Structure 1
Amino acid sequence: MIMPRTRTRFAVVALVATLALSACGGTATRPTTTTSTPDFAIDTSTPLGALNDRILQWINSDSAPDAAAVDAVTGPELAEAVAPLGGLVAPLEQLRAGAPNVATGFESGAQTGVLSITTGGIPATISTSIDADGTLNGFLAKPDTPQISSFDDLDAALSKVAPTYSYSASRLNGGDCEAVYSTNADSVLPLGSVFKLYVLGALTDEIEAGRVRWDDRLTIRDETKSAPSGELQNLPDGTAVSVREAAEKMISLSDNTATDLLMERLGHDRIERQLGVMGHHDPSIMTPMMDTRQFFVIGFGDPNLRSEWADADPDGREKLLEQADARPLEIDFENFLDNPASANGVEWFANAQDVCAAMAYLASSSAGEENRRILAITPGVHLDAAQWPYSGFKGGSAPGDLAGAFLATDEAGQDWIVTEQFQSGEAIDLIPSSYAFLVAQEAFALLN
């Protein structure tokens, strides 16, 4: 989860690059129930109250917010801050995906307000501020995180995110994970973009071996571009990027097109071999390995492909990957948002021990210094730098799936690895997703 820092008084919490495999959190239209509790209503007699009431209607509507109407009440400073997200309508749509968002309170000053809501059983707030002309110059949506004083508190908090989850916290000792606490660590759950750790490991091992160079060039082609998250899919056909740029974007922005370029350069079979090298307990569950474009085509294109994938043996899955390569990238988010592809095995899978082993390998291999640098570009959590001088991260999400892997070094020089994985039968939306990673951040206090 990223909380962008801008000149505005508030930023927007949104499901963006570091966590996302796809930008599908707010793209579909799905019916919801509406607005607030019967015994609570926002006082609309002030401009700020009327604006918050409108926001509440937008995030509970049966249809997507009208972009023009949202833009009309968004001030220029906030508009500039949220432009990379597709405007304020994008986070509003992500919030709407978690409806019903039930209003429980509203506190208002002259120019700032805090709207309290509950979504998916998780309390949250939407903080807003307005300019003298009544337009929004600040917007921050975030869950209320409980105090985490024990691992029991942690379990109680994480169980609100999804019915199936795992968590592990391990001390890194000589390249091995020594668990200090875990829940459901043997459960095999989806990885989302956390699978890209294996791509990074294969890449840096090949660079160490001299078979790939950081300044090698990769060519972006329209026919092989993947869907967001990321940036490279927006570049013109024929654009060349370096291996280093692709690797950095694959991890820091979870760039899917960058990932597929690297997988093509290395070969899928090379990355499949990396699963065992990095300690995966059963590489066969990710073999043959799909790239991200294949994931979208099989999981969110023709509905027959995902059912065929579920029933296919390895040879049959290889043929489906070939079919996916020949098909256009057409994604039916509306039909599949609440029908996660991972239920049919269209994902990448591992347990908490596998994820810890993968992160441990990256931290301890001969390429460890470079791996750590890349993992730290987007650290994932905001830890006290005096207590945690290093923090690295890779996260991932897809409809119904959420995962995160954290590598942090304490003030004594001890490395720690924390993993989270969640799986649900429906989309895990903005507030629960943000909540999961804020809880993980709070739980670091239990480790040193």
Structure 2
Amino acid sequence: MGAATAAALVLSGCSSPYDGAASTDGRSPGAPGTAAPSRPAVTPTATAHPPNDAVGRQMSWMLGQMNTDPVSSDVSSRFTEQFQAEVPPAQWLVMLGQLRAQAPWVLESVTSDGKAGSASVVAQGRRYSLTMTVDDAGRIDGALLKEGAQGETATTWPQVEQRAQLAAPQVSILAATVGDDGSLEVVHRSGEQGVRPIASMFKLYVLAAVAEQVRDGALSWDQQLRLTAQDKTLPSGTLQERPDGTAVTVREAADLMIRISDNTATDLLMRAVGEDTVRAAAARAGATHPEGITPFLTPRQMFWLGYGDAPQALDARAKWAAADAQTRAQLLEQVPMPGPGPENIDMTSTPWRSGVGWFATPQEVVQAHLYLDTLAGDAALAPLREILTKNGGIAVPDWSEQAFKGGSDSGVIALSFLAPPPQGTQRRQALVMIGTGERPVDEETFVAATADAARLLSEHR
């Protein structure tokens, strides 16, 4: 792991909501093998001093450790037991060594309410955000250092496009209001509106299939599914850590699949309902480009097909884009999948450019959200709304309980939202943003541009 990735490491159990996001399929920005997008060098715009409160004192200590202060080997008085369980002292010292290699770290700005704080710091021409929370005793129980977003806050749609393109060269945006009959009134549309890679947003189709099966009595929310070794896949989620044979209810698996984009939960649910059932549900949910989801890959299949280095995987990738459905099925059958996923994933590759993954149009993603919202009107399917809104999405004052699903893969980030009518309006609002490129996407900047777009849309009257 190089020094550049060390500064993007999650220092505690913090995680992105964007799949994961910000994992972005659950990979942290510091995952081995990633390559950060190139950015122009920055210089500190000011020099700040931490406030004299619990957060400020701990930030001052941490920045001193990241710079030239004598290294503290005893960190028990600085971090909570839970933090140390997630980041053992030995791991902290290794990370600290990598961070010190980038010194000096210059504090530009800092805010704190005594229990939680955030700061902007600059090192080696890069700007990072440092967020921190402390417990009642003033010990650090959460800390996250990650590269900050590029660009200024966008206040117009052209500015949203420009900021998003700092993160990904090709950007598709669809922002619309939704009538009672499901019709869309486009507020802003730009970029390619045809079939695009949608990463983990495909899980909306899996959820639709599960919901239909519950509605029809073939499944129930409290029905137990048994986890097998063949269900387990990487990288996002936690279910892969449970023992084989673990009982998982349909409701829990669905919640994990959407809330934290758990790939193993997705494989488990797809095994329970079957590929044909998922593809049929996708059609009812508005998918009109079956070639983009045929075969309908499980996450495990996608990772072995897209990143495996066996000759069969390399051959399948080379032929995939031009192959018909029958040939693709034959190619997939030949790809060895001996475990949860390849051990050494080259995240500088971009499987989506070979047609590997899941593909739909921005409008089809909106239609999937609307279909699930309609299903949720059935009393038996009431849990759908909680499943879809539990993640939280993006904080927008006028958006409450927004349905959200995002996803990312190498060279892809995709975010989608369905929000209830803002105050003073009668129409729901939908937003889809997809960014692609030939190298890893700057997720922080793309999410920031998406937040700008969400605010603009929420202000539309």
Report TM bin, short chain: 0.7 to 0.9
Answering whether residue 274 of structure 2 is matched by residue 272 of structure 1, we say no
Deviations 1:47-78 (A, max 9, x none): 96784376489xxxxxxxxxxx8996686546
Answering whether residue 162 of structure 2 is matched by residue 156 of structure 1, we say yes
Partner of residue 217, structure 1: 224
Q: Aligned-pair distance for 1:442?
A: 3.2
Question: For residues 9-20 of structure 1, what are the structure 2 equivalents within 5 Å?
Answer: 12=14, 14=16, 17-19=19-21, 20=24
Question: For residues 365-444 of structure 1, what are the structure 2 equivalents within 5 Å?
Answer: 365=375, 367=378, 369-384=382-397, 387-410=398-421, 411=423, 412-429=425-442, 431-444=444-457
Asked if structure 2 preserves the Cα contact closer than 8 Å seen for 1:24 and 1:399, the reply is no
Structure 2 counterpart of 1:431, which letter?
Answer: E
Q: Aligned-pair distance for 1:42?
A: 8.8
Asked if structure 1 preserves the Cα contact closer than 8 Å seen for 2:310 and 2:336, the reply is no
Which of these residues, 182, 196, 203, is aligned with residue 203 of structure 2?
Answer: 196
Which of these residues, 323, 327, 348, is aligned with residue 358 of structure 2?
Answer: 348
Task: Compute the TM-score of the two structures, normalised by the length of structure 2.
Answer: 0.75
Question: For residues 296-315 of structure 1, what are the structure 2 equivalents within 5 Å?
Answer: 296-302=303-309, 304=311, 305-312=313-320, 313=323, 314-315=325-326
Aligned partners of 2:84 and 2:158: how far apart in 1? 37
What's the C-alpha RMSD, in Å, of the aligned pairs? Answer: 4.4
Structure 1 counterpart of 2:152, which letter?
Answer: P
Partner of residue 21, structure 1: 25
Aligned partners of 2:87 and 2:205: how far apart in 1? 28
Q: Aligned-pair distance for 1:298?
A: 1.3
Gap runs ≥5 in structure 2: 1-11, 50-56
Structure 2 CA distance for partners of 1:85 and 1:435, relative to 1, 3 Å: farther
Deviations 1:378-424 (A, max 9, x none): 1211232xx33331111111121111111111234531111111112
Asked if structure 2 preserves the Cα contact closer than 8 Å seen for 1:73 and 1:135, the reply is no
Asked if structure 2 preserves the Cα contact closer than 8 Å seen for 1:37 and 1:104, the reply is no
Aligned partners of 1:273 and 1:153: how far apart in 2? 39
Structure 1 counterpart of 2:129, which letter?
Answer: T
Deviations 1:224-249 (A, max 9, x none): 31113112111111111111111111
Partner of residue 53, structure 2: none
Which of these residues, 114, 119, 126, is aligned with residue 114 of structure 1?
Answer: 119
Structure 2 CA distance for partners of 1:295 and 1:29, relative to 1, 3 Å: closer
Identical counterparts, % of pairs? 26
Structure 2 counterpart of 1:254, which letter?
Answer: S
Q: Aligned-pair distance for 1:353?
A: 1.1
Which of these residues, 284, 293, 312, is aligned with residue 291 of structure 2?
Answer: 284
Deviates more, 1:76-85 or 1:305-314: 76-85
Aligned partners of 1:377 and 1:39: how far apart in 2? 37
Deviations 1:154-194 (A, max 9, x none): 22222212001111111122123332211125142221111
Gap runs ≥5 in structure 1: 1-9, 58-68
Q: Aligned-pair distance for 1:269?
A: 1.1
Q: Aligned-pair distance for 1:342?
A: 1.4
Asked if structure 1 preserves the Cα contact closer than 8 Å seen for 2:47 and 2:106, the reply is no
Aligned partners of 1:293 and 1:70: how far apart in 2? 42
Q: Aligned-pair distance for 1:26?
A: 2.4
Aligned partners of 1:119 and 1:440: how far apart in 2? 31
Aligned length: 417
Answering whether residue 149 of structure 2 is matched by residue 170 of structure 1, we say no
Aligned partners of 1:292 and 1:127: how far apart in 2? 32
Aligned partners of 1:429 and 1:101: how far apart in 2? 23
Partner of residue 330, structure 2: 319
Structure 1 counterpart of 2:270, which letter?
Answer: M
